[in-house]
């Protein structure tokens, strides 16, 4: 037989019982009244049957006529006192009911207070339960302290995108001894304004990684450099994974930097060094998809499948937000040891070709140029939004784009598409605001975004049509004006 466990009830619970209704006094007075009334009625009936009632009434009448005072007393005894007794009985009953209600309300309040105290006690006991060791190390540590950006000295304020380009070029030259052409700096800033993914490609030694690193130093927030590994295939290679054996999450530098960037004002730069040594569309696929979502507040990456009480505060249901203030800059080499970057990646990213070393130059105010600048991600987007909203491509170049689109559809079966057309408009607006020329910006982005699609066409056919395509560009935009596009077409012709 099972042993029954006696339920322990606190002694204080006794006062929570609903108070009993006490009717003894009411029953006593009612019985006494019925008894007296019964005796009086019995006496009257007996006197009436024996004939003595008339004699008693005659005596009472004589007595009352002879003594008015006694008549009043008798009347009081017969009428007034019973009425008073009845009133007292009613008043007493109401007061007793009111008292019971007050007692019940007080006891109910005591009961509710005791229940609340019991809940708090249970909550306190639950908090004292032994939790497993936290599976996130550095992320929990980041919750306890605020990240400290580098460069705490007084910084320069940036008022325009043109000033941003000039200051960045001078900073890289004076402090880091890195020299870049102004056109490269403009393409870099314009690329960041159009997409959160920027690909720097070109031959080794042209300063691809250094450019991204220098920009982090320039804005006072060190760039995070992630060397891509050849075996990477999925997002866990970038973000880390939960180890079932150690009960710990293997955090990566990128995961820690993403967590730090959430709800911070600074610009964060993440460099994927040699991003095409593995297939970008594999390990970076979820990032590419999330960056296409218009609402930045809806961009979340899965980290773990369950939730622990001691997980980092900024994780939501095991997911981490893709920060709106983080840009991904990938460096790419095109040789036999790397994979070709797919159109899916190129369509979503902006491209900067660094295929030459820039000449050294002298900075006028070298000491002032070494100072970092003060520009938040929000401020950068404000500057970009202002120029993109107010700048419009000239009517002549709009017409040229339509003619070029019809020619490419007819001859090669390729077209711009809405995404590329939007990127062209935004890119040109920012490039011009950085101090460049509209046709120069158009030459650059057409080469990288449109003519690149020729590589997926039949090589023999493209080679046979290359001369006609070059003549078309000269006739449409002016002879030799689209230098990059012409150079790119000739390169396809030679390699084809």
- Class of residue 218 by CB neighbours under 10 A (exposed 0-12, middle 13-18, buried 19+): buried
361 and 438 co-located in one domain? no
Nearest Cα to Cα of residue 215 among 255, 183, 175: 175
pLDDT by residue for the chain (496 residues), tens digit each?
A: 444 444 444 444 444 454 555 566 667 767 777 787 777 788 778 777 777 777 777 777 776 666 777 667 766 666 777 777 778 778 877 777 777 778 778 778 888 888 888 888 887 776 655 667 788 888 888 888 765 544 445 678 899 999 999 999 999 999 999 999 999 999 999 999 999 999 999 887 778 999 999 999 999 999 999 999 999 999 899 999 999 898 899 999 999 999 999 999 999 999 999 999 999 999 999 999 999 998 999 999 999 988 888 889 999 999 999 999 999 999 998 777 788 898 889 999 999 998 877 888 888 888 888 888 989 999 999 999 999 998 999 999 999 999 999 999 999 999 888 889 999 999 999 999 999 999 999 999 999 999 988 988 888 999 999 999 999 999 999 999 999 999 999 988 887 6
369 and 428 co-located in one domain? no
Torsion sign across C-alpha atoms 8, 14, 16, 22: positive
174 and 273 co-located in one domain? yes
214 and 281 co-located in one domain? yes
167 and 100 co-located in one domain? no
Which residue, of 327, 346, 375, is where some domain finishes?
375
Q: Across 274-362, where does the E strand assignment appear? A: 300-302, 319-321, 326-332, 350-353
Q: Are strands 300-302 and 319-321 parallel, antiparallel or unpaired?
A: antiparallel
285 and 424 co-located in one domain? no
Listing DSSP states for 422-479 in one string gives: HHHHHHHHHHHHTT--HHHHHHHHIIIIIGGGGGGS-HHHHHHHHHHHHHHHHHHH-T
Task: Indicate whether 470 belongs to any domain.
Answer: yes
Taking residue 317's Cβ as centre, other Cβ atoms within 10 Å add up to: 12
Number of folded domains that form the chain: 3
CATH of the domain at 235: 3.40.50.300
16 phi, psi to nearest 5 deg: -85, -5
- Structural domain that includes position 189: 135-147+154-375
Please name the residues in contact with 202: beta carbons below 8 A apart, sequence gap of 6 or more: 208, 353, 354, 355
Task: Indicate whether 206 belongs to any domain.
Answer: yes
108 and 141 co-located in one domain? no
Task: Indicate whether 397 belongs to any domain.
Answer: yes
Task: Indicate whether 384 belongs to any domain.
Answer: no
Torsion sign across C-alpha atoms 306, 309, 312, 314: positive
Distance, in Å, from the CA atom of 153 to the CA atom of 312, rounded to the nearest integer, reads: 31
Distance, in Å, from the CA atom of 88 to the CA atom of 86, rounded to the nearest integer, reads: 5
Token pair, residue 285, equals 């696929």
Contact 298, 316 (CB under 8 A): no
Distance, in Å, from the CA atom of 390 to the CA atom of 427, rounded to the nearest integer, reads: 13
423 and 479 co-located in one domain? yes
Distance, in Å, from the CA atom of 418 to the CA atom of 410, rounded to the nearest integer, reads: 18
Task: Indicate whether 4 belongs to any domain.
Answer: no
Task: Indicate whether 268 belongs to any domain.
Answer: yes
Give the SS3 label for residue 178. Answer: coil
363 and 408 co-located in one domain? no
370 and 413 co-located in one domain? no
What is the pTM assigned to this prediction? 0.73
Q: Are strands 197-201 and 326-332 parallel, antiparallel or unpaired?
A: parallel
Token pair, residue 385, equals 């939004």
86 and 36 co-located in one domain? yes
Task: Indicate whether 436 belongs to any domain.
Answer: yes
302 and 416 co-located in one domain? no
């Amino acid at each position: 037989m099972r042993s029954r466990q006696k339920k322990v009830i606190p002694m204080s619970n006794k006062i929570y019982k609903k108070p009993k209704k006490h009717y003894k006094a009411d029953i006593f007075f009612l019985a006494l009244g019925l008894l007296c009334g019964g005796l009086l009625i019995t006496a009257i009936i007996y006197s009436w049957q024996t004939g003595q009632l008339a004699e008693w009434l005659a005596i009472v009448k004589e007595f009352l006529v002879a003594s008015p005072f006694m008549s009043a007393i008798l009347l009081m005894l017969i009428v007034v006192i019973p009425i008073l007794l009845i009133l007292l009985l009613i008043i007493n009953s109401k007061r007793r009911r009111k008292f019971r209600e007050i007692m019940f309300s007080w006891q109910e309040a005591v009961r509710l207070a005791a229940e609340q105290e019991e809940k708090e006690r249970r909550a306190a006991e639950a908090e004292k339960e032994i939790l497993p060791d936290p599976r996130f190390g550095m992320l929990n540590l980041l919750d306890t302290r605020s990240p400290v950006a580098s460069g705490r000295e007084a910084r320069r304020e940036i008022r325009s995108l043109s000033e941003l380009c000039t200051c960045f070029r001078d900073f890289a030259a004076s402090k880091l001894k890195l020299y870049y052409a102004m056109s490269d700096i403009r393409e870099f800033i314009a690329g960041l304004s159009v997409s959160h993914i920027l690909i720097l490609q070109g031959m080794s030694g042209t300063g691809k990684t250094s450019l991204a690193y220098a920009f982090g130093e320039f804005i006072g927030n060190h760039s995070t450099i992630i060397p891509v590994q050849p075996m990477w295939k999925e997002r866990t290679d970038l973000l880390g994974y939960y180890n079932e054996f150690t009960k710990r999450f293997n955090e990566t530098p990128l995961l820690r930097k993403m967590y730090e960037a959430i709800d911070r004002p600074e610009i964060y730069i993440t460099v994927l060094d040699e991003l095409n040594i593995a297939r970008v569309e594999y390990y970076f696929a979820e990032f590419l998809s999330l960056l296409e979502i218009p609402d930045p507040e809806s961009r979340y990456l899965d980290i773990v499948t369950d939730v622990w009480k001691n997980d980092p505060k900024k994780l939501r249901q095991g997911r981490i937000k893709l920060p709106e203030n983080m840009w991904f800059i990938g460096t790419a080499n095109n040789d036999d040891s790397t994979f070709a970057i797919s159109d899916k990646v190129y369509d979503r990213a902006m491209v900067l070709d660094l295929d030459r070393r820039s000449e050294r130059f002298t900075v006028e105010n070298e000491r002032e140029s070494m100072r970092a600048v003060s520009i938040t991600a929000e401020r950068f987007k404000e500057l970009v939004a202002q120029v993109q909203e107010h700048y419009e491509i000239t009517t002549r170049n709009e017409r040229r784009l339509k003619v070029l689109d019809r020619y490419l559809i007819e001859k090669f079966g390729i077209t711009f598409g809405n995404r590329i057309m939007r990127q062209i408009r935004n890119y040109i607006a920012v490039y011009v605001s950085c101090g460049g020329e509209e046709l120069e910006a158009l030459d650059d982005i057409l080469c990288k975004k449109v003519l690149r699609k020729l590589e997926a066409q039949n090589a023999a056919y493209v080679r046979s049509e290359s001369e006609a395509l070059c003549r078309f560009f000269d006739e449409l935009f002016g002879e030799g004006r689209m230098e990059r596009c012409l150079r790119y077409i000739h390169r396809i012709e030679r390699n084809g």
